Structure 1
Amino acid sequence: MHLLNKKEQVKGRVRLGIQAFAEALLIIPKAIAQNAGHDQYEYTTSMIPVGIDIATGEAMESKSLGIYDNYRVKKQLIHSSTSIATNLILVDEILRAGLSSLRPGGQ
């Protein structure tokens, strides 16, 4: 949710990148809610910086229940996901360049 608020402060292509990245990060809680049998859209509209109780589908404060996520693991996960997505886009660009060179006229 922080990234969605941050995008309002920037302009141009950077804003689109921030929005796309923020939406990609929301896929995880949406999938958790859907896999638990709850409405993913209802959850994300009421989403606050807490967890989801998969038994009820309600937002809950993880800390009050003694649930702590490892910050380093989450940070590395986001970094790795971003790197993988960047590499996939790069490979796609390389493949497109290779295919265009096979066409007559190189276009």
Structure 2
Amino acid sequence: MIGMLWFDNDEQRNLAAKVGRAAEYYREKYGKSPNLCFVHLSQAPKEGRVDGIEVRGTRAVMSNHFWVGVEQEPAKASSPSAQGVVAQGVVAQGVVAHEN
């Protein structure tokens, strides 16, 4: 996945609102709608989808961080610098966006 890391620790927003805000910013910045979001395991929803975006829990993302992007085929994952996340079928490339 080529993606963007989003930070949101606002306790007034639920997971759906946080993922939605991150997805909206991603769409505005990159002109594409994300279809995947990684969150910390403790924040992963039981249903696995939020507003049409697949949400997966992982230890590779810290709490209150949302790694949104467009999933690629695992065969295309070739970034040697992202070995910890490549094992999960994604490529760790992107930018960091901060929002409170």
Query: TM-score normalised to the size of structure 1?
Result: 0.26
Which structure shows the bigger proportion of residues in strand conformation?
2
Larger radius of gyration between Structure 1 and Structure 2: 1
Which structure shows the bigger proportion of residues in helix conformation?
1
Query: TM-score normalised to the size of structure 2?
Result: 0.27
